A and B are shown apart, each in its own frame.
Chain A
């Protein structure tokens, strides 16, 4: 048993402070993304989630320039973008996608400018990689309280919105008949989505955060037909991928001494493998055999 554990966990894994921080922040991001991701997929807002993540990179790169907490940067920009998308008031899917696409382009343009200043004025050459693709083992421990607060707030609002959001996602008309303020519910969900992508951006980077948001949810809805179980399965898939990715990335330092592979790569790869497995299971069991 001990030899099996030592095969999985290389020496120093459990005593490493950067690993502890990565496990806590990454686990929090996986839980929040797992919950919010299911609603995002049901509402057909995967593109909006990806756009918010990309726009948040402008905040992340600005935080390097200003020397502030990067989570604040990601969060601030994602919240501004979420508000902008809702205030644009686009109702038709095509119109909404256009607004989202325009905001995505503008956000990435800003990120390009801030990263240019980062590299040319502050000599933070790693900023681009960290902002776009994440660097979990270099997350400062000081970020944990804010990350947990953001995560708890996102989960609390998601729990509060659970039933009205589910009904409004199925049919805004049915929700409105029951007295639900559909637009307010949509705005609150976008804000929670902004919280989720900011946390995910801290973990796997802005570009890959949509993988952590959408991937586990996509896996879950292939395996279950109940909304509550889908959320639980999505959280589990996110945690397996994130913590599994951290373990593999840590171990990779021993496979190629001194040149460990990025955590983001392992997380996204595990999500992809789990998605293929879920697709195979559903294909084998038939569409209505899911639990």
Chain B
């Protein structure tokens, strides 16, 4: 499959299994330059597996992933990545500024020398994510929202065209989650970066998303939010009737009837009133 002219990511009929258990089944979607896309699904829906497959950490059983290589540097695919959770001890002698700088040249062997150009790039990226105030603090001492800003700057300093984020809003309070979501949208527009962001709660992203990829039972539906988060589409994905309810600019996805066999994706909720997510 060839990437279209402005396509940055193309996922084509990708299937992934773990020990014979299918996790992703023929997942297909593509993203264009500068698009802001939410990867939505409950815990265990396969969001992290899909991101790891795009990154090349997980080989697909079938299908293929194509990433635009126009902005590759040092032979590395220009994909920025913010992982789900990093445990940073407060005693570690590494400042937020150092973490961002490692995004620039952390893969290179030898000692790092603080050139003006390097300092300038780091300062520019810290300013872009609003992290100048705590740039010289130990990264382990920062709050969850501050650490997310630093990790986003780390991921973006090499100017990738594609930015993948695994649950960046998890463990953040509502205000921090809204700030990080707005920051990502702004960076996406200003720098024409394609953003694919996984989350189990789509509501903070509703006003920001250009597209959504909804994962359920290993299958995916993608498109504009209003085209995907619909009763008929989600019922087809889950294999039983699903209601989509819109209340006060928020979306609730509800399983109206208890399925005989509750999929892993909804088993944590009461069977008759399953909010997904």
List A residues at the B interface (Cβ < 8 Å).
38, 42, 44, 159-164, 166-167, 170-171, 173-180, 220-222, 224-227, 229-230, 287-288, 290
When each residue 69-112 of chain B gets 1 if its CB lies under 8 Å from chain A and 0 otherwise, what string results?
00000111001010100101111111100110011011111111
Interface of chain A, main secondary structure: helix
- Closest approach, in angstroms, between the C-beta of A46 and any C-beta of chain B? 12
**Which residues of chain B are near A220, meaning CB under 8 Å?**
93
Chain B contact surface mostly:
loop
Knowing A163-B106, A174-B83, the reply to whether A288 touches B92 (Cβ < 8 A) is no
Q: Are B111 and A166 in contact (CB under 8 A)?
A: no
CB contact between A159 and one of B55, B111, B136 (< 8 Å): that residue: B111
A224 and B106 CA atoms in complex are apart in Å by 21
A159 to B113, CA, bound (A): 12
Q: Which residues of B contact A230 (CB under 8 A)?
A: 93
Tell me if A226 and B95 are in contact (CB < 8 A). yes
> How long is the Cα–Cα vector from A179 to B93 in the complex, in angstroms?
24
Contact across chains for B107 and A164 when beta carbons are under 8 A apart: yes
* Cross-chain contact B93 with A38 (CB below 8 angstroms): yes
Is B17 part of the contact surface with A, judged by Cβ < 8 Å? no
Q: A166-B94, A226-B95, A288-B137 are in contact. Are A177 and B109 (CB under 8 A)?
A: no
Tell me the complex Cα distance, A42–B75, Å: 29
Q: Which residues of B contact A229 (CB under 8 A)?
A: 93
Minimum CB–CB distance from B222 to chain A (whole Å) comes to: 24
Q: How far, in Å, is A92 (CB) from chain B's closest CB?
A: 13
B235 within 8 A of A: no
Query: Complex: how many Å from CA A162 to CA B106?
Result: 9
A226 touching B93, Cβ below 8 Å: yes
13 further contact pairs, Cβ within 8 A, besides A163-B108, A227-B94: A42-B92, A42-B93, A163-B109, A163-B110, A164-B108, A164-B109, A166-B94, A166-B98, A179-B76, A180-B106, A221-B92, A222-B91, A229-B93
- Alpha-carbon distance A226/B151, docked complex (angstroms): 18
Chain A residues with CB below 8 A from B98, complex form: 166, 226-227
Check if B57 is an interface residue, CB within 8 A of chain A. Answer: yes
Contact B91 A221 (CB under 8 A): yes
Min C-beta distance of B247 to chain A, whole Å: 37
With A166-B102, A287-B138, A288-B137 as contacts: A179 and B107 at CB distance below 8 Å: yes
A159-B111, A176-B57, A288-B138 known; A170 vs B88 contact (CB < 8 Å): yes
Give A223's nearest chain B residue, CB to CB: B93
Q: What are the residues of chain A within 8 A of B88 when measuring CB–CB?
A: 170
The answer on a CB contact under 8 Å between A288 and B141 is: yes
A180 is contacted by which of B75, B79, B107, B141 (Cβ under 8 Å)? B107
> CB-nearest residue of chain A relative to B88?
A170
A42 — nearest CB in chain B belongs to which residue?
B92
Is B83 within 8 A of A171, CB to CB? yes
A177 nearest CB across to chain B (Å): 5
- C-alpha gap A219/B206 in the complex (Å): 49
Residues of B within 8 A of A226 (CB): 93-95, 98
Given A163-B109, A166-B94: A177 touches B138 (CB 8 Å cut-off): no
A164 surroundings in chain B (CB, below 8 A)? 106-109
Report the nearest B residue to A162, measured CB to CB: B111
Chain B, residue nearest A218 (CB) = B91
Q: 7 closest A-B pairs (Cβ-Cβ)? A: A167-B106, A178-B107, A230-B93, A173-B83, A177-B81, A221-B93, A167-B102
Shortest distance from the beta carbon of A40 to any chain B beta carbon, whole Å: 12
- Name the one of A159, A178, A287, A290 contacting B106, with C-beta atoms under 8 angstroms: A178
Determine the chain A residues whose CB is within 8 A of the CB of B211 once the complex forms.
none
Q: Does B25 contact A (CB under 8 A)?
A: no
Q: Is B154 part of the contact surface with A, judged by Cβ < 8 Å?
A: yes
B126 to chain A, nearest CB (A): 16
Cβ contact of B55, chosen from A160, A171, A177, A287, cutoff 8 A: A177
Task: Give every chain A residue within 8 A of B76 (Cβ-Cβ).
Answer: 178-179
Q: Which residues of A contact B139 (CB under 8 A)?
A: 170
Residue of B nearest to A177 (CB): B81
